[in-house]
């Protein structure tokens, strides 16, 4: 007798998603929305799947109560209302639908682009108020203008193609996307400074992380064209709203269109008082088609996982045996550190990642180890969840080709994991091993031999092999009150005597100002602050 999968839909989803599940053989569907925590805990034990949107909170107690629970589906992007670590610990797979509303958000951007250029909201209010002032609302044609797109993921690429259809010239900036990917999507690559200086319109489509918070600030706005316009349908924290308001009031910028804000709703934002701003209440995913798309997509993912075990787009890990996990875990942890390191040392978009296993580790399946190297590489480059289930799925979207190689012949160590990244024809290679089969050690960076624990904050330098370099570095760190816990100076294993590297384990991260001071030292050719 075949197994029957019970599915509880705890938040409203589009009927097409529900019908898809109901029509799948072996599925029994219950819809019960508005459950409080206690009621959900009482209901969940017999269900194999739980589907929610943003309202229902799937906490650790809910997951613990799900004795039969195998999968949680979130019809939407964010999984903040789901305790993903608790789900992972119990072997429960979590899905979301990150790209299902990409078209909708891209179209909203184009709508803002047109509305902003032709003053449509202001003109509408004017006519409703009894005025008739066509000369007051003279607009700008988009044809022949330049659109600069910051962030070239799925949504950014859709916007680029649509803008090109409007006969606009499109520029794109994304340090983690290869120029070839941009060219395939009708965009010319630019660095950030060049993009904001050339663009008539700047549209934001990047994630909100520490490095992008207030990306558009007073300085970047000052470098924009006089009369340029800004559009943000991504995340509110990308824009310094006070700086934007000042630029609009001064006339340096001609207008802005915002769907997202630092605080939502933006009750205290200075932008609310400005006529030159078009505002919408976070409508990026608010279309009937998007609601249908996320519902159908999550239904498909849940049904496929329960019937076949496929979890390519899951945001966490499916259950693995304890025996497999115990053998694989230390190499996976090492590979993730190596992925983070090679990412930090690589300048520009990475087109290829190669993971090689030598010696005893080559007896293991390389795919989980490669996936963990990708987790380390991609986690610092993408805002969404990256894990060993979806890392291999995300890599091609970033223009990264992934290769694996194994050799049971040892290279200096009983087991060696080597990770290489190719950036614009330049290959950066790092390698590590396990001491005693469990303690990770970094042992090589390119041709330089090193030996350190890959954990914590580091300062990496490549410099001329001459007296005084290490002393200069130590002096700067001492002045900043940064303690050195470990330091390794590596020499070229190929016999080169001109250059050396230093890998310094430090007690705190370095500010950009301090790192710039290190980079300015005459003997230093490269300096990178990183965290492993």
Are the beta carbons of 190 and 180 closer than 8 angstroms? no
The pair phi, psi for residue 211, each rounded to 5°, is -75, -20
Give the other-Cβ count within 10 Å of 288's Cβ: 9
Q: Could you give the CA distance from residue 107 to residue 363 in angstroms, rounded to a whole number?
A: 49
Helix/strand/coil percent split, the chain, to 5: 35, 25, 35
Sequence-distant (6+) residues with CB within 8 A of 312 are: 389, 390, 392, 393
Under a CB-based contact definition with an 8 Å cutoff, are residues 149 and 171 in contact? Answer: yes
- Known active-site residue 235: yes
Question: What are the helix and strand counts (H, E) for the chain?
Answer: 17, 22
The CA–CA distances, whole Å, from 130 to 120, 122, 139 equal: 16, 13, 21
What 217-221 contacts at long range (C-beta under 8 Å, 24+ apart), as own/partner pairs, is 217/243, 218/243, 218/246, 218/247, 220/192, 220/196, 221/247, 221/252, 221/253
146-157: b (≥16 Cβ within 10 Å) or e: bbbbbbbbbbbb
What is the Cα–Cα distance from 257 to 255, expressed in whole angstroms? 7
- The DSSP bridge pattern shows strands 499-506 and 457-464 to be antiparallel
Which of 15, 32, 184, 264 is catalytic? The answer is: 264
Active site residue 43: no
How long is the chain? 532
**Residue of 6, 90, 213, 282 with catalytic role:** 282
Active-site residue, selected from the candidate residues 14, 235, 388, 499: 235
Does the annotation count 205 as an active-site position? Answer: no
Instruction: Tell me the catalytic residues.
Output: 235, 264, 282
């Amino acid at each position: 007798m075949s197994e029957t999968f019970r599915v509880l839909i705890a938040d409203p989803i589009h009927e097409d998603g529900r019908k898809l599940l109901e029509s799948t053989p072996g599925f029994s569907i219950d819809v019960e929305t508005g459950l409080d925590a206690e009621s959900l805990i009482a209901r969940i034990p017999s269900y194999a799947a739980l589907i929610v949107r943003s309202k229902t909170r799937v906490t650790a107690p809910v997951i613990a109560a799900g004795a039969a629970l195998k999968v949680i589906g979130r019809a939407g992007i964010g999984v903040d209302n789901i305790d993903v670590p608790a789900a992972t610990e119990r072997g429960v797979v979590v899905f979301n639908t990150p790209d299902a509303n990409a078209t909708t958000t891209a179209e909203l951007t184009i709508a803002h682009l047109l509305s902003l250029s032709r003053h449509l909201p202001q003109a509408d209010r004017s006519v409703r108020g009894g005025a008739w002032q066509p000369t007051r609302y003279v607009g700008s044609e988009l044809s022949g203008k330049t659109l600069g797109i910051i962030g070239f993921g799925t949504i950014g690429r859709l916007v680029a193609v649509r803008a090109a259809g409007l006969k606009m010239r499109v520029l794109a900036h994304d340090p983690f996307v290869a120029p070839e990917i941009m060219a395939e999507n009708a965009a010319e690559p630019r660095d950030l400074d060049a993009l904001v200086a050339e663009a008539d319109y700047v549209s934001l489509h990047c994630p909100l992380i520490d490095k992008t918070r207030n990306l558009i600030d007073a300085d970047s706005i000052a470098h924009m064209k006089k009369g340029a316009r800004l559009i943000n349908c991504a995340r509110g924290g990308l824009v310094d709203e006070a700086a934007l308001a000042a630029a609009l009031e001064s006339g340096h910028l001609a207008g802005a269109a915002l769907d997202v804000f630092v605080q939502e709703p933006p009750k205290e934002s200075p932008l609310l008082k400005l006529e030159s701003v078009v505002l919408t209440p976070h409508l990026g995913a608010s279309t009937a088609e998007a609601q249908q798309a996320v519902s159908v997509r999550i239904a498909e993912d849940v049904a496929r996982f329960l019937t076949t075990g496929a979890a390519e787009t899951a945001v966490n890990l499916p259950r693995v045996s304890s025996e497999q996990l115990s053998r694989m875990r230390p190499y996976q942890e090492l590979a993730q550190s190596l992925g983070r390191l090679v990412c930090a040392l690589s300048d520009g978009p990475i087109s290829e990642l190669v993971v090689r296993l030598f010696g005893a580790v080559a007896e293991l399946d390389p795919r989980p180890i490669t996936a963990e190297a990708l987790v380390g590489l991609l986690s610092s480059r993408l805002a969404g969840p990256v894990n060993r289930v979806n890392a291999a799925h995300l890599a091609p979207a970033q223009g990264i080709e992934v290769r694996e190689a194994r050799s049971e012949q040892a290279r200096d160590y009983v087991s060696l994991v080597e990770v290489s990244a190719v950036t614009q024809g330049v290959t950066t290679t790092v390698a590590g091993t396990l001491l005693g089969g469990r303690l990770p050690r970094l042992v090589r960076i390119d041709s330089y031999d090193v030996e350190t624990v890959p954990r914590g904050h580091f300062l990496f330098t490549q410099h001329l092999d001459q007296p005084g370099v290490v002393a200069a570095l130590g002096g700067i760190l001492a002045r900043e009150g940064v303690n050195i816990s470990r330091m390794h100076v590596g020499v070229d294993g190929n016999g080169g005597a001109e250059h050396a590297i230093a890998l310094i384990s430090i007690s705190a991260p370095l500010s950009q100002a301090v790192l710039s001071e290190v980079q300015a030292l005459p003997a230093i050719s490269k300096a990178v602050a990183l965290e492993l």
